[in-house]
């Protein structure tokens, strides 16, 4: 190694004639242009150019503070009508069966409030409006408590769905990991099963499951669990396939079978990633559980849909705020658990 001279070996071209590969080839550039053209066409089809015009118009309106004709826009005013948020629950006592004024619920009090009642005057056959004093039972945080109870139900749905999904997807992941599936047939079957589970949206399967199991949490749990199992099965399997091969090879060299190798050389590697995926699925299931409530599969979504249809936007506002806070808190919790595990 003391020769120091860089002698050109046989069949080598000298270095100054070398051509280095360009970073972007003509093919890449052409492909990017093609993709941009397709996107432009698609944007036109999706009326995105129209959206830009409308947004600009709204911005101009806001700047000139001209309210315009509010009636033309059905979405106008919903936001204003959400405030103040509905926190209390007011129930006229004549609507409560066996009401006992001596035995009020905790923190509740009675209020008398004038209420306008329209009745048909039998003599004139005209609607007359008169004011009557009505006693209402006011629970100061009554509605909030109801919403919180509903959101807990929603979280329970998400928890059970995630739990069932994990239990279902572990064997699915083993069968659909290319390097551990016992047979190519089991691999293909498991892969397509996982894809099918993932392909059916929760909302659609929830519609069918509500038909099968009736309104309530069971349909929601099953719909979420099936979809999540498809999701987790795919990503668990991909983690197994991507795991570091060296510890697995060491186990194989010691004569270990698939199970021992998976348990001792693969599982410890993929566990943090599994935990992160599972937490993500739990977080997603909480959000999805509110959505599938819309089709009657239990939880806060059912309440939300009811209030929305009755134009009680102050209650809708409360529900949305509680959902937002819940997702935020769960996100913090998930981040904390992930930090502990990694």
Partner 1 sequence: MRTTTPLYIHNRPGDLPHETLRVYEATKTFTTGPAALDKVSFGLKAGEFTVLLGPSGSGKSTLLRAAIGLVRLTSGTIKVSVERGIAPEKRKRPAIGMVHQDGSLSDRLTAAQNVLSAMAPQMGWLRVLFQAYPKHLQDKACRLLDRVGLTEDQANRPVRELSGGQRQRVGIARALMNDPTLILADEPVASLDPATARKVMLLLRETAREFGATVLCSLHQIELACELADRILLLRQGQLIFDGAASDMSPRSLAGLFEQDSAGRPFDLVGG
Contact between 171 and partner 1 (CB under 8 A)? no
Contact between 158 and partner 1 (CB under 8 A)? no
CA dihedral 88, 89, 93, 99 (to 10 degrees): -100
Within residues 187-246, the interface with partner 1 by CB under 8 A covers 244-246
CB of 272 vs partner 1, minimal distance in Å: 8
Distances (CA, A) of 205 to 145, 168, 213, 222, 233: 30, 17, 12, 9, 18
How many residues in the shown chain lie near partner 1 by CB under 8 A? 32
Structure tokens at 205: 């399967």
Contact between 338 and partner 1 (CB under 8 A)? no
Q: Is 202 helix (H, G, I), strand (E, B) or coil?
A: helix
Judge whether 145 and 208 are in contact, CB under 8 Å. Answer: no
In the bound state with partner 1, the residue whose beta carbon lies nearer, of 15 and 19, is 15
- CB atoms < 10 A from the CB of 134, how many? 14
CB of 185 vs partner 1, minimal distance in Å: 17
Judge whether 117 and 147 are in contact, CB under 8 Å. Answer: no
Q: Is 92 helix (H, G, I), strand (E, B) or coil?
A: strand
Contact between 185 and partner 1 (CB under 8 A)? no
Among 260, 310, 325, 333, indicate the residue that binds partner 1 (CB under 8 A): 260
In the bound state with partner 1, the residue whose beta carbon lies nearer, of 218 and 256, is 256
Among 104, 159, 179, 216, indicate the residue that binds partner 1 (CB under 8 A): 179
Within residues 238-257, the interface with partner 1 by CB under 8 A covers 244-257
Among 5, 17, 67, 129, indicate the residue that binds partner 1 (CB under 8 A): 5
CB of 7 vs partner 1, minimal distance in Å: 6
Distances (CA, A) of 338 to 163, 264, 276: 17, 21, 6
Contact between 167 and partner 1 (CB under 8 A)? no
In the bound state with partner 1, the residue whose beta carbon lies nearer, of 1 and 26, is 1
- Distance of alpha carbon 69 from the chain centroid: 35
Judge whether 203 and 295 are in contact, CB under 8 Å. Answer: yes
Where on the chain is the footprint of partner 1 (CB under 8 A)?
1, 3-9, 12, 179, 244-257, 259-260, 263-265, 268-269, 271
């Amino acid at each position: 190694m003391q020769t120091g001279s860089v002698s050109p070996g046989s069949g080598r071209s000298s270095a100054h004639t070398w051509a280095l590969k360009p970073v972007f080839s003509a093919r890449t550039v052409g492909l990017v242009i093609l993709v941009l053209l397709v996107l432009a066409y698609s944007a036109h089809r999706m009326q995105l150019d129209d959206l830009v015009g409308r947004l600009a118009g709204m911005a101009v309106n806001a700047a000139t503070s001209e309210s315009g004709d509010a009636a033309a826009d059905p979405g106008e005013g919903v936001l204003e009508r959400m405030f103040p948020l509905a926190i209390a629950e007011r129930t006229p006592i004549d609507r409560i069966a066996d009401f006992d004024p001596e035995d009020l619920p905790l923190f509740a009090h009675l209020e008398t409030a004038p209420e306008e009642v329209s009745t048909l005057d039998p003599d004139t056959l005209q609607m007359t409006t008169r004011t009557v004093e009505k006693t209402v039972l006011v629970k100061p945080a009554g509605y909030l408590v109801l919403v919180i109870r509903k959101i807990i139900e929603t979280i329970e749905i998400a928890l059970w769905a995630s739990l069932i999904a994990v239990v279902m997807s572990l064997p699915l992941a083993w069968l659909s990991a290319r390097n551990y599936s016992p047979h190519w047939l089991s691999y293909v079957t498991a892969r397509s099963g996982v894809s099918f589970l993932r392909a059916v949206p929760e909302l659609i399967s929830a519609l069918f499951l509500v038909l099968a199991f009736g309104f309530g949490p069971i349909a929601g749990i099953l719909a979420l669990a099936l979809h999540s199992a498809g999701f987790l099965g795919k990503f668990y399997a991909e983690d197994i396939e991507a795991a570091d091969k060296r510890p697995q090879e060491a186990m194989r060299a010691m004569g270990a079978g698939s199970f021992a190798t998976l348990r001792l050389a693969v599982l410890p590697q993929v566990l943090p990633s599994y935990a992160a995926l599972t937490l993500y699925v739990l977080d997603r299931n909480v959000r999805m559980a509110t959505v599938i409530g819309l089709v009657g599969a239990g939880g806060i979504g059912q309440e939300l849909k009811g209030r929305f249809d009755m134009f009680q936007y102050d209650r809708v506002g409360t529900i949305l705020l509680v959902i937002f806070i819940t997702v935020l808190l769960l996100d913090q919790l998930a981040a904390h658990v992930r930090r502990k595990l990694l």
